Structure 1
């Protein structure tokens, strides 16, 4: 029993290292693609959210794109200076301000988002469809387990 436990511990450590390195490699390639469009990954994440989901309360963007709430104002400011987003006060609640994609932002995302999806597809081309589905299932299982501990 003790030998099995040691083997399990070693496999867990190895899995952690392999998963971390794989994520690092994938993120590096995805970030290279994003930077090729003159955006940083945080700017792209905010633009992509608003492009695909519509205007968003600025206060809620951070939790949706996994960015610290303290960084959101800075990112929205930068996107506003680039004329890709604008702030719009909520007519029903003056405490809430929405980030809204501009025509220029929409045009940019319409051009680059399909290219970005293709770049991600190329990054994951080392796996076939069934392997991708299996990994999605396994990683969700792992993530939910870790979250519920």
Structure 2
């Protein structure tokens, strides 16, 4: 019923999930799809928690605040609507996080001169300095998370995840 990996190993959570859902009368239960989505979710949550606790806490930054500051570091200034899309959050969330980052003097808002309805968020010099200190430590965490994978496996995993991103317009 379920296709095991080449080693025949499943995580305990996967076994529990399979045992629970196989009794549900779903016409075409796709256990492989369930496993992929569940594992992506677990990795994303684990990554977020690890980085917040081990790296971002020193700067009192949440995952979303760091992601937003990272985008500003890369692009210098970005419209709030695009910043929300890039981070997968609402404009209201961007507004709240911007207020927090402004209090820390890491970014500031500016209005579009041609259309006052459009607001941009820009990184400050202090924000750039924080990212220049923080990102190398963050990157070490990224490397540690995938250390058990070969370079080819990392490239393959990235390609597979990009497919999911493209197919779903994330």
Does the pair score TM above 0.5? yes
TM-score, structure 1 length as denominator? 0.81
Pair 1:10–1:72, CA change in 2 (3 A): closer
1:120 aligns with 2:152: no
- Greater per-residue helix proportion: 1
TM-score, structure 2 length as denominator? 0.73
- CA displacement, residues 18-42 of structure 1 (integer Å, 9 cap, x when unaligned): 3333333223222222223321111
Counting matched residue pairs gives 145
Structure 1: give runs of 5+ residues left out of the alignment.
none
Task: Provide the rounded CA distance (Å) in 2 between the counterparts of 1:137 and 1:126.
Answer: 18
Which residue of structure 1 aligns with residue 23 of structure 2? none
Pair 1:14–1:65, CA change in 2 (3 A): closer
Structure 2: give runs of 5+ residues left out of the alignment.
4-26
Pair 1:143–1:57, CA change in 2 (3 A): closer
CA contact (8 A) 2:106 2:126 kept: yes
Task: Provide the rounded CA distance (Å) in 2 between the counterparts of 1:15 and 1:3.
Answer: 13
Task: Provide the rounded CA distance (Å) in 2 between the counterparts of 1:73 and 1:142.
Answer: 28
2:71 equivalent among 36, 41, 49: 49
1:80 aligns with 2:128: no
CA contact (8 A) 1:43 1:79 kept: yes
